[in-house]
Amino acid sequence: MSIRIGIMGYGNLGRGVECAVKQNPDMEVVAVFTRRDPKALSILTEGAEVCHVDEAEAWKDKIDVMILCGGSATDLPKQTPKYAKLFNVVDSFDTHAKIPEHFANVDKAAKESGKLGIISVGWDPGMFSLNRMYANAILPEGRDYTFWGKGVSQGHSDAIRRIEGVKNAKQYTIPVESALEAVRGGENPELTTRQKHLRECFVVLEEGADPARIENEIKTMPNYFADYDTTVHFISEEELLREHSGIPHGGFVIRSGKTGWNQENNNVIEYSLKLDSNPEFTACVIAAYARAAYKLSLEGQSGCRTVLDIAPAYLSAKSNDELRRELL
């Protein structure tokens, strides 16, 4: 029997989870939960039901893992502890500074219910965290670098859209190639914010809006753009939709460290992602950890976990024997 998956929230990430589950023959989506009118929502999976979030409790014994696809700002801090009382859960909570608090809340709820919760699953936090951790444990005398991109930053795109006179916008975060090369070369450079990433913006103006004023507002926006070299392109709405409607992303986690009695040798560990679809890839990571949540729960484990706490083999549909034979 396959692992029965519920999806809570049907935005980009929820749809991504639906696609990811399709690729895993040992799992099936049995229900999608929405705050909208379920009749108005059409999903892709044949045979899966669309339900209102208020009906979730009735699925208590019909779902093995509930995947929470809401946002980290307001949805997940409430949803993950709430649903951990009913289900094994996986979320992609990504507010790095609040992870310890979120962990404690989910751990308490999941221990009380005897369920298993895995939080902060995706690629950062997620696979990038994992690679930072492995690389730090292996090369204690070294230095970490994380670069993001090239990819669309939703937060920065939204910030531009809030400027008066902007009709639509997309912002790309781009790692500075020369900084990447210096890090790969083992030079262990000190890099400022500006030296690590560029920001490139594609902006559609409202009729009559002043491009000079808007370009200046973008480039001087504190936190978002002021500390970066930022390029602004004004384009038509057609071009924006035609050329910039994807959600690519990616990045690099690099650790450069010394070995040898006198630290005479340098070694570089690099992990990188190049993703056509940020939410679909995040969803694929989540699907693999949903399998882990299911397996851990079958073993009788409960409480909260992160990617750092879970042995890799739990992610695979293959047996440990097969994994040793085929992948080791």
Closest approach, Cβ 245 to a second copy, in A, equals 13
Our finding on whether 132 is near a second copy (CB under 8 A) is yes
Token pair in block for residue 112: 């009380």
Of residues 59 and 103, the one with the C-beta less far from a second copy: 103
Q: Which residues contact 86 (CB under 8 A, 6 or more apart)?
A: 56, 57, 60, 66, 113, 115
* 21, 63 Cβ separation under 8 angstroms: no
**DSSP letter, residue 312:** G
Based on its alpha-carbon atoms, the radius of gyration of the chain, rounded to whole angstroms, reads 22
First vs last Cα of the chain: how many Å apart? 28
Among 28, 49, 111, 136, indicate the residue that binds a second copy (CB under 8 A): 136
245 touching a second copy, by CB under 8 A: no
- Read off the tokens for 150: 């090239």
Per the CB < 8 A criterion, the answer to whether 174 and 201 are in contact is no
Helices (H), the chain: 12-22, 75-84, 99-113, 127-138, 154-161, 177-184, 193-196, 211-219, 237-243, 278-298, 320-326
CB of 155 to a second copy, least distance (A): 19
Three-state DSSP at 227 gives coil
CB of 112 to a second copy, least distance (A): 20
- Is residue 1 involved in binding a second copy (CB under 8 A)? no
Looking at 57-65, 95-103, 207-215, 225-233, which segment touches a second copy (CB under 8 A)? 95-103
Q: Which residues partner with 110 through β-bridges?
A: none
For residue 316, give the nearest of 13, 24, 116 by alpha carbon. Answer: 24
Q: Which stretch in 32-40, 110-118, 123-131, 194-202 sits in contact with a second copy by CB under 8 A?
A: 123-131
Choose among 106, 139, 119, 79: nearest CA to 310.
119
Task: Give the three-state DSSP class for 6.
Answer: strand
Residues 142-201 that bind a second copy (CB under 8 A): 184, 186
- Is 311 a residue that touches a second copy (CB under 8 A)? yes
Give CA–CA dist 256/267, Å, rounded: 6
Site stretch for a second copy (CB under 8 A), options 57-65, 76-84, 230-238, 307-315? 307-315
Q: Should residue 327 be labelled a site residue for a second copy when binding is judged by CB under 8 A? A: yes
**d(C-alpha 48, C-alpha 146), whole Å:** 39
Q: Whole-number minimum distance, CB 121 to a second copy, in Å?
A: 10
Q: Which CB atom, from 114 or from 185, has the smaller least distance to a second copy?
A: 185
- Is 103 one of the binding residues for a second copy (CB under 8 A)? yes
Asked if 138 is part of the footprint of a second copy (rule: CB under 8 A), the reply reads yes
* Residues 18-57: x where in contact with a second copy by CB under 8 A, - otherwise, as a string: xxx-xxx-------------------x-------------
Beta-carbon neighbour count of residue 299 at 10 Å? Answer: 9
Site for a second copy in 267-306 (CB under 8 A): 267-277, 280-281, 283-285, 288, 291, 306
Binding site for a second copy (CB under 8 A): 16, 18-20, 22-24, 44, 96, 99-100, 103, 120, 125, 127, 129-134, 136-141, 184, 186, 259-261, 265-277, 280-281, 283-285, 288, 291, 306-313, 315-317, 320-321, 323-325, 327-328
